[in-house]
C-alpha cells in the first residue's frame, strides 16, 4: 500500500466535510483533482473510502478506519513541524479556526492581522452555519471558534472579546 501525505490531507478534508466540493475549496484544488486523489488512494488501499447515496457521500467502514489513522499521522507531522520550528526559535503550529457565517465580516480581518504577526503559524479557516459549527465543536475539531452566542449545553470555556451592537436603520 502506497499512500501519499497529500492523499491523506485530501481524504481527511473530504471526510470532514463529507463533500468533494467543500474539500476542494478548502484545499484550493479543483473538484476533479480531489476526486482523482481519492480514487488513487482507494486503488492503493483496495477498498472504497466513501459510498454515495443520492447526492450525499458517507464514509465506509474502511473510510472510518482510515480517517483515524490519517488524523493520527497528520497530528504527528504537525508535532514534528512544531518541534523543528521551536528549535529554530519560531512561534509556529497550526491554528484551526471555525467561524459562524454571521461573524465572517470581522473575523477574517482579525485572522489576517494575526497571520501577518505570526507568519510561521498555519491557519485553516472554516466558515459554516451554527449547526455544523456545533457538531465540529462536539468532535473537538477546531482549536478556536468564533460565534455570536456560545452553546449552553456543552462544557466549554467561552470569552466575550468584542461588543457587537445591533443598529436599527
Q: What is the pLDDT of residues 118-137, one digit of tens each?
A: 887 888 888 888 888 888 88
From-to residues of CATH 3.40.190.10 in the chain: 91-157
May I ask the CATH class of domain 91-157? alpha beta
Q: What is the C-alpha separation between 124 and 33, in angstroms, rounded?
A: 20
Averaged pLDDT of the chain: 86
Cα(146)–Cα(109) distance, integer angstroms: 13
- Classify residue 122 as left (phi > 0), alpha (psi -120 to 50) or beta: beta
Query: Among candidates 124, 101, 108, 96, which has minimal Cα distance to 25?
Result: 124
Q: Which residues of the chain form CATH 1.10.10.10?
A: 5-73
What is the spatial distance between Cα 137 and Cα 57, in angstroms, rounded to a whole number? Answer: 21
Fold of 5-73: Arc Repressor Mutant, subunit A (1.10.10)
Give pLDDT tens digits for 8-66.
999 999 999 999 999 999 899 999 999 999 999 999 999 999 999 998 999 999 999 99
Q: Residue 88: which H helix or E strand, with range?
A: none
Amino acid at each position: 500500500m502506497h499512500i501519499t501525505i497529500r492523499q491523506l490531507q485530501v481524504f481527511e478534508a473530504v471526510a470532514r466535510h463529507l463533500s468533494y466540493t467543500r474539500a476542494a475549496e478548502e484545499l484550493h484544488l479543483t473538484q476533479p483533482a480531489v476526486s482523482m486523489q481519492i480514487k488513487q488512494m482507494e486503488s492503493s488501499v483496495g477498498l472504497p473510502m466513501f459510498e454515495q447515496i443520492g447526492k450525499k457521500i458517507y464514509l465506509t467502514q474502511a473510510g472510518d478506519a482510515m480517517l483515524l489513522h490519517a488524523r493520527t499521522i497528520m497530528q504527528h507531522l504537525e508535532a514534528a513541524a512544531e518541534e523543528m520550528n521551536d528549535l529554530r526559535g519560531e512561534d509556529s503550529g497550526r491554528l484551526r479556526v471555525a467561524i459562524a457565517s454571521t461573524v465572517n465580516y470581522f473575523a477574517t480581518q482579525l485572522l489576517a492581522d494575526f497571520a501577518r504577526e505570526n507568519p510561521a503559524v498555519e491557519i485553516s479557516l472554516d466558515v459554516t452555519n451554527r449547526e455544523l459549527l456545533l457538531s465540529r465543536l462536539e468532535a473537538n475539531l477546531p482549536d478556536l471558534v468564533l460565534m455570536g452566542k456560545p452553546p449552553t449545553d456543552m462544557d466549554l470555556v467561552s470569552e466575550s472579546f468584542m461588543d457587537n451592537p445591533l443598529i436599527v436603520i
